[in-house]
Amino acid sequence: MCLKTLRNLRHTLALRLTLWYAGIFAVSSTLAFALAYVLIAEVVREQTDEDLREDIQEYAAFMRLGGLDRVETEMSVDSEGGEGHQVFFRLWGPDGRQLAATDLSAWTGLSEPKGISARFADTDEPILETLALPRREHKVRSIYGVIAPGMVLQIGESLENNEVFMAATFRGFLIVLATIVAFGGPIGWFMARRALRGVQAITRTATEIMHGNLDRRVAVRAQGDELDTLARTFNLMLDRIHALIVGMREMTDNLAHDLRSPLGRIRASAEMILTRNGSKAEAEAMVAATAEECDRLLEMINTTLDIAEAESGAAKLKLTEVDLVELVGDAVELFQPLAEDKQVTIAVDLPNACRVRGDRQRLQRVVANLLDNAVKYTPSDGRVTIKLDDRDERLRLSIQDTGLGISPDETTRIFERFYRCDRSRSELGNGLGLSLALAFVRVHGGDIAVDSTPERGSTFTIMLPRLHAA
Ligand code: ADP
């Protein structure tokens, strides 16, 4: 592995996780082993003490059964042979004089306990202590115990076996610990790599997308863990971005398309004014038509900007108390002549007044756009009915017509910018009216619903919160 790879490795999350794993593994194993070692040492020590206590009781029984002779015999039997290096006995009488002892040549440094009999004047409870004799490698555990009235026996036992056992235990723990630490690293590395595989897949996909492959998506495994959630969220985000890009592309295509025809017309009429030697009145009419065309273009561009401003949340609402009934009445008045021309009846079913907090101008444009559409897309002898339901906190203003209607596929698209249904292309329009209405209603915290049946008519319902806070 070259130096650069090693340097890169140093910054990987996998390595950091591995080191954490191995560290935590090592520390917790050491603590567990230390605890186990202390417990084992305690058990061994207690066992030794228990054995010594039992020995005292045994010698008390020998004393009862066979007197001093029997005790002395047992003492020499117990300390015979190799045992002589492991155990010693000393016996004192009521006057404090030593009555018997085994060979103490291997136990140099043993002190003579002063007034040992006196110490047991009030109690028979044996006295245990650990001795460190100068010429013995291992410590000695000793017990003083009463085996007959006034007679104190000391039994000393080398702790060599215990210490050898504990040293072996310690070595065993060290070997196991070293093995755990040695294996903990690779296992931690393997687990960290495994856990991070999903992240690597996401990084790879993001890199591919960065290089232009916008259709790539992360494979979602069926494990339902955090990485799956991340992958799914990542894919959803990509879908959303993709939809936005497609939407923007469509919008710019539509904008370009919608700008081309009027600009062509403007150019043609400018050319005609320049080249034709018509009358002044003719030239003035052409200039007026060109100005009108320019106005339409400007309106389209301004509407697009208004929608963008409302959708981005940058629109500053001029909130006042608005009477919706009055606002709808004004709009009806405005469209009445157009409706009469087309022989479309506009009927209203409104309460006396209905106040909301909102931006009057924007709400006027919303109602005007919907009413304009209703009249525009309703053939002669049709009917447009406006109703206001103000019983709930959420007001419902519905504009119903008996017009062309919209197919179910298209109802989902009519709120997109520049979208126009094929069958309505014969009417004037730029496909921005509904987008604008929806954007304005949404900045008021409301929504627009549509219910439509082709050839039967449509109902557009504006839902508005009554007390829209500033
Ligand atoms: P336009 O300027 O084309 O009216 P809109 O955004 O207002 O643009 O509407 C988008 C499309 O939705 C219209 O082109 C039309 O096809 C359809 N539409 C809107 N309102 C109605 C309606 N009341 N009846 C039938 N179709 C409608």
Q: Where along the chain do its domains lie? A: 2-103+117-165, 226-311, 316-465
Ligand 1 atom 25: residue of nearest CA: 405
Model confidence pLDDT, tens digit, residues 418-455: 888 887 777 888 899 999 999 999 999 999 999 999 99
User: From start to end of 178-273, where are the E strands?
Assistant: none
Give dist(CA 213, CA 34) in Å, integer: 57
Q: Which atom of ligand 1 is nearest to the CA of 424?
A: 16
Distance 414 CA to ligand 1 centre (A): 7
Amino acid identity at 264: G
pLDDT bucket at 347, cuts 50 / 70 / 90: very high
Indicate if the pLDDT at residue 416 is higher than 50: yes
How far apart, in Å, do the first and last CA atoms of the chain sit? 64
> How confident is the model over 108-128, as a mean pLDDT?
83
The pTM for the full model equals 0.57
pLDDT of amino acid 184: 79
Write the DSSP string, 390-422. -SSSEEEEEEEE-S----HHHHTTTTSTT---G
Q: Which atom of ligand 1 is nearest to the CA of 422?
A: 16
Ligand 1 atom 21: residue of nearest CA: 373
Distance 243 CA to ligand 1 centre (A): 22
Give dist(CA 56, CA 151) in Å, integer: 11
Distance 373 CA to ligand 1 centre (A): 6
Give the domain 226-311 fold: Helix Hairpins (1.10.287)
Give dist(CA 403, CA 378) in Å, integer: 4
Amino acid identity at 399: I
Q: What percent of the chain has pLDDT over 90?
A: 47
Distance 350 CA to ligand 1 centre (A): 24
Give dist(CA 24, CA 191) in Å, integer: 14
Highest mean pLDDT among 219-223, 354-358, 379-383: 379-383
H-helix or E-strand spanning residue 169: helix 160-210
Ligand 1 atom 20: residue of nearest CA: 373
Q: Which atom of ligand 1 is nearest to the CA of 425?
A: 14
Distance 98 CA to ligand 1 centre (A): 123
Q: Are strands 383-389 and 345-349 parallel, antiparallel or unpaired?
A: parallel
Only one residue has tokens 């929608």, namely 307
Name every residue whose Cβ is closer than 8 Å to that of residue 3 and which is 6 or more positions away in sequence: none
H-helix or E-strand spanning residue 26: helix 13-78
Model confidence pLDDT, tens digit, residues 124-156: 889 999 999 888 889 999 999 999 988 999 999
Q: Which atom of ligand 1 is nearest to the CA of 374?
A: 23
pLDDT of amino acid 194: 81
Which residue has better confidence, 250 or 58?
58
Distance 286 CA to ligand 1 centre (A): 30
Q: What percent of the chain has pLDDT over 70?
A: 96
Architecture in CATH of 2-103+117-165: 2-Layer Sandwich (3.30)
Average pLDDT taken over every residue of the chain: 88
pLDDT of amino acid 433: 95
CA dihedral 14, 15, 19, 24 (to 10 degrees): 0
| CATH, domain range 316-465 | 3.30.565.10
Indicate if the pLDDT at residue 469 is higher than 70: no
Three-state DSSP at 107 gives helix
Indicate if the pLDDT at residue 240 is higher than 60: yes
Q: Which atom of ligand 1 is nearest to the CA of 404?
A: 25
Distance 188 CA to ligand 1 centre (A): 62
Ligand 1 site residues (CB inside 6 A) read 369, 373-374, 377, 401, 403-406, 414, 419-421, 424, 429-435, 458
Pocket test for ligand 1, best of 385, 432, 434 (most atoms within 8 A of CB): 434
Q: Which atom of ligand 1 is nearest to the CA of 427?
A: 3
- Beta bridge partners, 383, equal 345
Contact predicate 142/156, CB 8 Å: yes
Give dist(CA 173, CA 171) in Å, integer: 5
Model confidence pLDDT, tens digit, residues 274-332: 887 778 888 888 889 889 889 988 998 899 889 988 887 777 889 999 999 999 999 99
Q: Do domains 2-103+117-165 and 316-465 have the same CATH topology?
A: no
Burial track 66-78 (b if 16+ CB lie within 10 A, e otherwise): eebeebbebbeeb
Indicate if the pLDDT at residue 68 is higher than 70: yes
Q: Is 441 exposed, middle or buried (0-12, 13-18, 19+ CB in 10 A)?
A: buried
> How confident is the model over 176-201, as a mean pLDDT?
83
